Amino acid sequence: MPTCLPLVLRRCHACASERFRADGKFRVNAHHKLIDAWLLVLCTVCGDTAKLTVLERTNVRSVRPELLDRLHDNDPVLAAELLRDPVVRRRNRIALDWDGAWRLDTGGPGDLDREAIEVSVCFAARIPVRPVRLIAEGCALSRAEAERLTAEGRLVSAVRLSGRLSDDFTFTLKR
Ligand SMILES: [Zn+2]
Ligand 1 centroid–CA 23 distance in Å is 16
What's residue 162's pLDDT? Answer: 87
CA angle 14, 17, 23 (to 5 degrees): 90
Ligand 1 centroid–CA 102 distance in Å is 25
3-state secondary structure of 25: strand
Ligand 1 centroid–CA 28 distance in Å is 23
Ligand 1 centroid–CA 16 distance in Å is 6
Q: How confident is the model at residue 114 (pLDDT cuts 50, 70, 90)?
A: confident
The pLDDT of residue 142 is above 80: yes
Terminal CA-CA length for the chain: 27
Ligand 1 centroid–CA 47 distance in Å is 6
Q: What backbone torsions phi and psi does residue 141 show, to the nearest 5 degrees? A: -110, 160
Strands 49-59 and 95-97: unpaired
What mean pLDDT comes out for the span 47-65? 95
66 vs 113, residue with greater confidence: 66
What's residue 110's pLDDT? Answer: 67
